[in-house]
């Protein structure tokens, strides 16, 4: 009898030791208790930062209406100290058939060596930065419109009084009237680079009997509303923004003819007769020209904080507040008059709640203890039935 009791005691000690060891591993994997974790910032008011490598929109399709848009993946700072960084897959804009259908097939913005991130510091200061090489090409004319080498933008909301922002580049080159790319001086805040009558066309297709030239304007972003962004990308009570704003006005007109014949510009199918944008066909009025307006934002970044923000404290979320995604998927806006559509390319995952990790560990620990108890019960039953 004493031997049976001894065996049971030894089995119990061994099993409890195994369970304790398993719990120790789970405890270590679950980091620290939720009470000891940094409390998340408020997901609605921040502090928060956003960063985007590039976005494009047709502000005017030539008929007084907005066209389509493509906004690449946007990084959002986590609710607790950490960094959200863009993956490696984005190398061009537009980059898919859906994106080209939204903004036209003619423009290609090449994106290389990018490093785009939005983060929240240990002192709860939000910051964002973007660095990349850009080259914009009109595929229809084979003209390289512009090239940025090591374009850099950044924001940091250290305080409500002095949020910081900056935009720089190692080199900026712009095409000339002869279609040759040449270096130009980088514009400072309040300055811009302007070029007119450049030999390239619009991002969308134009008629075979039409010709086009374009005007180019490049300047730093100075206001949040100048950014092209998804709906989830928002400002706050105190906001700083940066980026490189590129605006292109393409003037489309009928090609010259030998006689007095004048060409009518093609009218999109969704524009009905009698609308003020396009005169009705057959009313004797001829079209002379139209202007397609295209906007790019390169390295768009922003940060915002509540008005009562103090570095190192404040802006905390209420207990149980939901987590938020740290990557906003790329979005495609349909041209005016088309059904809304969007492409989603998720490169990140939702921020995981510390309480979720901790709860999983506790459930797993309970499972181990339950298995230990079941093991002891079976051993005791087996020992009692032995002769």
- The series of mean pLDDT values per 10 residues for the chain, 387 residues long, is 42 43 43 59 93 97 94 96 93 95 97 97 96 98 98 96 95 97 94 97 94 97 96 95 98 72 41 39 51 98 95 57 75 63 35 35 43 49 45
**CA 257 and chain centroid, separation:** 47
Q: What is the pLDDT of residue 323?
A: 61
| Res 189: pLDDT | 86
Angular region, 121: left φ>0, alpha ψ -120 to 50, beta rest: beta
pLDDT of residue 369: 45
Task: Give me the pLDDT at residue 312, please.
Answer: 76
> 41 φ, ψ to 5°?
-75, 165
Which tokens go with 345? Answer: 């390319």
Instruction: Please enumerate in sequence order all residues whose Cβ is within 8 A of that of 206, keeping only pairs 6 or more positions apart, or say none.
Output: 212, 252
Torsion of CA 49, 54, 57, 59, to 10 degrees: 70
Digit-coded pLDDT (tens) for 195-230: 999 999 999 999 999 999 999 999 999 999 999 999
Question: Cβ of 158: how many Cβ atoms within 10 Å?
Answer: 18
Report the distance separating Cα 54 and Cα 338, nearest Å.
24
- Please identify which residue in the block is written with the tokens 């120790």: 24
261-285 burial: b if 16+ Cβ within 10 Å, else e: eebebebeeebeeeeeebbeeeeee
Q: Is 123 left (phi over 0), alpha (psi -120 to 50) or beta?
A: alpha
Per-domain boundaries in the chain: 2-30+357-384, 40-352
């Amino acid at each position: 009898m004493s031997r049976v009791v001894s065996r049971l005691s030894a089995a119990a000690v061994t099993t409890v030791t195994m369970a304790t060891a398993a719990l120790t591993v789970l405890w270590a994997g679950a980091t620290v208790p939720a009470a000891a974790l940094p409390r998340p910032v408020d997901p609605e008011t921040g502090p928060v930062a956003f960063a985007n490598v590039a976005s494009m929109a047709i502000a005017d399709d030539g008929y007084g209406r907005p066209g389509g848009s493509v906004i690449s993946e946007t990084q959002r700072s986590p609710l607790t100290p950490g960094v959200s960084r863009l993956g490696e897959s984005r190398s061009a804009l537009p980059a898919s058939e859906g994106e080209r259908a939204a903004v036209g097939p003619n423009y290609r913005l090449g994106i290389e060596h990018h490093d785009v991130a939005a983060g929240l510091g240990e002192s709860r200061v939000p910051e964002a930065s973007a660095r990349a090489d850009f080259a914009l090409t009109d595929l229809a004319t084979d003209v390289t419109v512009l090239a940025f080498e090591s374009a850099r933008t950044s924001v940091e909301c250290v305080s409500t009084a002095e949020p910081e922002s900056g935009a720089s580049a190692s080199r900026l080159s712009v095409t000339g009237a002869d279609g040759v790319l040449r270096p130009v001086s980088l514009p400072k805040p309040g300055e811009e680079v302007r070029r007119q009558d450049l030999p390239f066309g619009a991002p969308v297709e134009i008629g075979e009997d039409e010709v086009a030239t374009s005007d180019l304007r490049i300047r730093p972003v100075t206001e949040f509303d100048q950014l092209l962004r998804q709906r989830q990308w928002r400002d706050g009570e105190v906001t700083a923004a940066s980026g490189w704003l590129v605006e292109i006005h393409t003037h489309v007109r009928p090609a010259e003819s030998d006689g007095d014949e004048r060409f009518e510009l093609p009218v999109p199918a969704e524009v009905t007769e009698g609308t003020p944008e396009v005169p009705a066909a057959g009313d004797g009025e001829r079209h002379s020209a139209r202007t397609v307006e295209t906007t790019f934002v390169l390295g768009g970044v922003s940060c915002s904080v509540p008005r009562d923000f103090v570095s190192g404290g404040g802006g905390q979320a209420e207990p149980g507040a939901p987590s938020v995604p740290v990557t906003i998927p790329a979005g495609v806006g349909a041209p005016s008059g088309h059904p809304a559509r969007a492409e989603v390319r998720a490169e990140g995952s939702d921020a995981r709640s510390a309480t979720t990790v901790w709860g999983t560990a506790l459930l797993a620990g309970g499972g181990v203890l339950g298995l230990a108890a079941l093991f002891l019960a079976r051993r005791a039953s087996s020992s009692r039935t032995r002769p």
